[in-house]
Amino acid sequence: MSKERIDIGGEVFGPYSPGVKANGIIWLSGQISLDSGESTKEQTLGCLRKIDTLLEAAGASKNDVCFAQVLLADIKDYSEMNEIYGNWLEGVEIAPARAAFEAANLPKGAKVEIVIQAISPE
C-alpha cells in the first residue's frame, strides 16, 4: 500500500504534510491554532477541530485515535488544556494513550500543539 497525504488546505509552516495515511495507520503532524484565540483553552479547542477535520479527511474519527502527544508552552496550562481535551473525548469508548509535557518555543508562539496517531477503520 502506498502512503497518502491527508490535507485540508490552510497554512503549513514547513516542509511536511498535515497528515499521512499508510498501511492502516494515520499520523497527524502537530496541530496549532493561533487563529482560535490567545488562551490555552481556545487554542486547544482549535487544535482539536483541525484534528477532527483531518481525521475525517482520512476516513477516521477521534474514536480511532490510539495516541495523542500534547505539547504545552507552559505546563501550568495543563488543567486548562485537559478540560477541553476531556470534553473532546466524551463518548469515546477507549481513550487514547497520551503524553503531555512542556516544550519551549512552540511554532509561531502557540500555547499548545497536539500530535495524533490513529488507525484507519477501513
Q: How many domains does the chain have?
A: 1
Domain that residue 106 falls in? 24-119
Query: Does residue 85 fall inside a structural domain?
Result: yes
Query: Does residue 14 fall inside a structural domain?
Result: no
Query: Does residue 2 fall inside a structural domain?
Result: no
Query: Does residue 93 fall inside a structural domain?
Result: yes
1 confidence band (pLDDT: 50, 70, 90): low
Query: Does residue 4 fall inside a structural domain?
Result: no
Q: What CATH number is attached to the domain comprising 106? A: 3.30.1330.40
pLDDT in tens, 8-39: 877 777 788 899 999 999 999 999 999 999 99
Whole-structure pTM value? 0.94
Cα atoms found within 13 Å of the Cα of residue 61, Cβ hemisphere only:
8
The mean pLDDT of 35-47, rounded to a whole number, is: 97
